Amino acid sequence: MNRSICFYFQVHQPFRLRTYRFFDIGRNHYYFDEYYNKLIMRRVAEKCYLPMNDLLLSQIEKYKSKVKITFSFTGIVLEQMEMYAPEVLESFKKLIATGNVEVLSETYSHALCSINKRDEFERQVALHRETIEKHFGVKPKCFRNTELIYSDEIGATVADMGYKVMLAEGAKHVLGWKSPNFMYVNAINPKLKILLRNFRLSDDITFRFSQQSWSEWPVTTEKFVTWLNRIPDNEEIVNIFMDYETFGEHQAVSTGIFDFMAHLPEAILTQTNFKFATPSELAKKLQPVSAIHVPNKMSWSDEERDLTAWLGNALQDDAFDTLYKLTEKMKLVDDEDLIRDWNYLQTSDHFYYMCTKWLSDGEMHKYFTHYSSPYNAYINYMNVLSDFSECVDLHLKTKESTKLKNNLKKQKK
């Protein structure tokens, strides 16, 4: 029997905020750290995006349609590529043009709005679709939500938006005895198929690849293939989902991650009965085994696989509520700069920096933050948000008064 393996890589960089002091409120309306964002984009481009794209391209050239890859890009990472690393964007275009790469749909700015703001969620997804089509000339058919956040309700919304497949975490607390290696469907709308991440095999690469204290270290293609072959024959798919920055950035080149990835396709194709596939192909090919019930939101982040990396403590909740209180007002705004800032401020990373869970995933959180403490992250974000909401109010007021003036003119005529 032929089984499938699906590799999906997430490509994302936030627009990090500059140190925005209280004194800046009402005086300076630029919130982002251009220097730092450029620095990181250049670093990741050199260490990860460019070498890894080359590697994948050579694999596709070698094995043609036998190797298939799936990518999801946030709108804001594409913006940063355009600004700071156009050659990276070109190299992704080249990869996608091979026809062996599927591109997924998601929110434009890696936002958390699927949680509570359906309108905003739909706006973000539509904006993202436009962007993907503009850059790559493809229309995404399959959906992945920010941080793989999923619940029955979010799935139903995504189905309403016309998608047939969605990716989610194969979280232990949701699956119980069930295996992630089958196709499932949404519990509310069975038309939406759900692909679940095999977190064990995914994390073997993402987190444990260079962990020398781990009994299975070092990870070799032989070992990986053995693990794949150990999966019971009736299980149909293995979903390896991870951040693209794993290659060369989280796992440095010195760990041998690139060599591993250069030999993995050959090993899989010759030593297992797994074939590469993309989510849309799987949706066509496979029949679901059952519905998956996820009443509470889950994600692919931290040990808990829930939303507590971004929401839950008082700092995060205050910031989140204050931000989304602006949703209705933002519907009336037609100023490009304000809409841009509104998008950027929704990025989940800002809330991640405010996380105070230091026990289980402290190291991970520390790795990703540029603030000295979650308190500083909160103060800085709230200062920015204060200025932003003042700008929004001012804009709407001006808009209202020009409208009144125009009406008066018309009446006079």
Q: Does 378 bind another protein (CB under 8 A)?
A: yes
Rounded Cα distance between 250 and 7, Å, is 18
Rounded Cα distance between 172 and 273, Å, is 26
Q: Does 345 bind another protein (CB under 8 A)?
A: no
Tell me whether residue 219 or residue 311 sits nearer to another protein (CB atom).
311
C-alpha distances in Å from residue 71, one per residue of 104, 164, 279, 380: 6, 17, 11, 32
Q: Stretches 73-81, 107-115, 143-151, 308-316: which one binds another protein (CB under 8 A)? A: 308-316
Q: Does 264 bind another protein (CB under 8 A)?
A: no
Q: Where are the beta strands (DSSP E) in 24-80?
A: 69-73
Q: Which of 315, 345, 355, 392 binds another protein (CB under 8 A)?
A: 315
Q: Does 64 bind another protein (CB under 8 A)?
A: no
Q: Which of 116, 130, 177, 140 has the alpha carbon at shortest distance from 346?
A: 116
3-state helix, strand, coil in the chain (%, to 5): 55, 15, 35
281-302: b (≥16 Cβ within 10 Å) or e: bbbeebebbeebebeebbbbbb
Q: Stretches 15-23, 113-121, 242-250, 268-276: which one binds another protein (CB under 8 A)? A: 15-23
Q: Which of 389, 391, 396, 399 binds another protein (CB under 8 A)?
A: 389
Give the tokens for residue 61. 């050239």
Q: Stretches 73-81, 113-121, 223-231, 372-380: which one binds another protein (CB under 8 A)? A: 372-380
Q: Nearest approach, Cβ of 117 to another protein (angstroms)? A: 18
Sole residue written with tokens 């006079």: 412
Task: Provide the residue count of the chain.
Answer: 413
Tell me whether residue 39 or residue 394 sits nearer to another protein (CB atom).
394
Q: Does 328 bind another protein (CB under 8 A)?
A: no
Tell me whether residue 117 or residue 135 sits nearer to another protein (CB atom).
117
Q: Does 22 bind another protein (CB under 8 A)?
A: yes
Q: Does 317 bind another protein (CB under 8 A)?
A: yes
Give the contacts of 408 (CB within 8 A, at least 6 positions apart): none
Q: Nearest approach, Cβ of 364 to another protein (angstroms)? A: 22
Tell me whether residue 39 or residue 314 sits nearer to another protein (CB atom).
314
Q: Which phi and psi angles does 11 have, rounded to 5°?
A: -115, 115
Q: Is 147 in the active site?
A: yes
- Residue 20 near residue 255, CB atoms below 8 Å: no
Q: Which residues within the stretch 23-42 sit at the binding site for another protein (CB under 8 A)? A: 23, 25-26
Catalytic residues: 147
Binding site for another protein (CB under 8 A): 21-23, 25-26, 313-315, 317-319, 321-322, 373, 375, 378-379, 382-383, 385-386, 389-390
